């Protein structure tokens, strides 16, 4: 199944975040951390429709790695894979 977002929505595949201590122990993410989350853009909508009827182009493209806040996206599952759907204006930055 293919996901095709509408308007200014962006589909993101979350990147797993693992912290490793100096001795090599992997620590799982904890709820008390409020760092931005990171993911890869899988699909984008055509853009936001403006008041004059034109469509504003998207700032992100498929393949971009982006930062976003933890509670901004909606979680969806398609074919057993977890994805996040978020408004483009909730994306904080593109990681280059």
Q: Is residue 70 part of a domain?
A: yes
Q: Is 2 contained in some domain? A: no
Query: Which tops the pLDDT comparison, 35 or 15?
Result: 15
Q: What is the CATH number of the domain that holds 80?
A: 2.30.33.40
Which pTM does this prediction carry?
A: 0.78
E strand spans, 1-96:
9-14, 19-20, 26-27, 37-44, 48-49, 55-56, 65-68, 74-78, 81-87, 91-95
Average pLDDT over residues 16-28: 65
CA distances from 32 to 38, 51, 85 (A): 17, 40, 23
As a whole number, the mean pLDDT across the chain is 86
Assigned domain for 64 exists:
yes
Q: Is residue 54 part of a domain?
A: yes
User: Where residue 17 falls among pLDDT bands split at 50, 70, 90?
Assistant: low
- pLDDT tens digits, 24-74: 676 665 544 556 689 999 999 999 999 999 999 999 999 999 999 888 899
Q: Which domain holds residue 68?
A: 9-95
Asked if residue 43 is part of any domain, the answer here is yes
């Amino acid at each position: 199944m293919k996901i095709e977002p509408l308007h200014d929505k962006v589909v993101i595949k979350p990147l797993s975040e693992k912290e490793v201590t100096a001795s090599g122990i992997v620590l799982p993410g904890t709820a008390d951390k409020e760092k931005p989350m990171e993911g890869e853009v899988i699909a984008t909508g055509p853009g936001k429709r403006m008041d004059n009827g034109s469509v504003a182009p998207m700032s992100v493209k498929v393949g971009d790695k982006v930062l976003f806040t933890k509670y901004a996206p909606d979680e969806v599952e398609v074919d057993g894979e977890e994805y996040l759907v978020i408004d483009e204006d909730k994306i904080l930055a593109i990681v280059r």
